[in-house]
């Protein structure tokens, strides 16, 4: 048994009679053990002095009235709390639904043509371009960038065009004059999508 353990057991009166006698004998001859023992005794002495701590009667007398008061208000508090929680849960549910609706709504700003065209599926793109068919007045109103985006969308549909000529859309546009671009626009917008577009 370690020294500290023996000291603590001695102080807690947990040693056997023989162990106690042996411990006391050892302490008589060992200054270090005596010093160490005294440190533990100091702790016990402090504890003993504090065991007698008592509360003032004012406080003691206030405990039960506070208890009964809490019992009375506690029931109202419980109902109020339950309603608050229910309201909170409902609010979270409504917010959650609203967020999900926004998230899945695929809301696209109609003024943002690029976003609009990218959101179209193949058939919708075809339908859109067909609407522009031959109507130069319409696409004159549309900014050039927007036309470009629509045409990019078109080239996606007609990937065989790009593949057949091994070119990208920007390469086409970069090399053409304004008049030639005009012709290309008209051709693409008027054409049958399965036909090749001569350049």
Point out which residues bind other proteins (CB under 8 A): 4-5, 8, 12, 39-40, 42-44, 46-47, 49-51, 53-56, 58-60, 63-64, 66-67, 70-71, 74
Angle between helices 17-29 and 3-11 (to 10 degrees): 120
User: Of the two residues 40 and 165, which places its CB atom closer to other proteins in the complex?
Assistant: 40
**Least distance to other proteins, CB of residue 64, Å:** 6
What does the block give as tokens for 149?
A: 């985006």
Burial 142-152 (b: 16+ CB within 10 A, else e): eeeebbbbbbb
**Least distance to other proteins, CB of residue 4, Å:** 5
Residue with tokens 């070119």: 167
User: Of the two residues 64 and 141, which places its CB atom closer to other proteins in the complex?
Assistant: 64
Residue with tokens 């090749």: 196
**Least distance to other proteins, CB of residue 76, Å:** 15
In a 10 Å sphere around its CB, with 0-12 CB exposed, 13-18 middle and 19+ buried, how is residue 129 labelled?
buried
Contact between 139 and 185 (Cβ < 8 Å): yes
User: Of the two residues 40 and 193, which places its CB atom closer to other proteins in the complex?
Assistant: 40
**Least distance to other proteins, CB of residue 65, Å:** 10
User: Of the two residues 60 and 83, which places its CB atom closer to other proteins in the complex?
Assistant: 60
| 120 alpha carbon, distance to own chain's centre | 31
**Least distance to other proteins, CB of residue 109, Å:** 41
Contact between 40 and 7 (Cβ < 8 Å): yes
User: Of the two residues 28 and 51, which places its CB atom closer to other proteins in the complex?
Assistant: 51
């Amino acid at each position: 048994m370690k020294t500290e353990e023996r000291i603590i057991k001695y102080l807690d009166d947990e040693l056997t009679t023989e162990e106690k006698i042996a411990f006391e004998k050892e302490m008589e001859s060992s200054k270090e053990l005596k010093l160490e023992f005294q440190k533990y005794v100091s702790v016990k002495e402090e504890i003993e002095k504090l065991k007698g701590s008592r509360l003032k009667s004012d406080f003691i007398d206030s405990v039960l009235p506070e208890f009964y008061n809490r019992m009375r208000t506690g029931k109202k508090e419980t109902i109020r709390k339950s309603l608050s929680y229910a309201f909170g849960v409902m609010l979270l549910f409504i917010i959650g639904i609203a967020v999900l609706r926004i998230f899945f709504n695929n809301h696209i700003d109609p003024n943002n043509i690029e976003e609009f065209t990218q959101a179209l599926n193949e058939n919708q793109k075809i339908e859109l371009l067909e609407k522009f068919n031959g109507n130069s007045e319409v696409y004159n109103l549309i900014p050039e960038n927007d036309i470009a985006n629509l045409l990019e969308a078109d080239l996606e549909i007609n990937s065989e065009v790009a593949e057949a000529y091994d070119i990208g859309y920007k390469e086409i546009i970069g090399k053409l004059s304004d008049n030639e671009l005009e012709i290309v626009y008209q051709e693409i917008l008027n054409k049958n999508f399965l036909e090749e577009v001569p350049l």
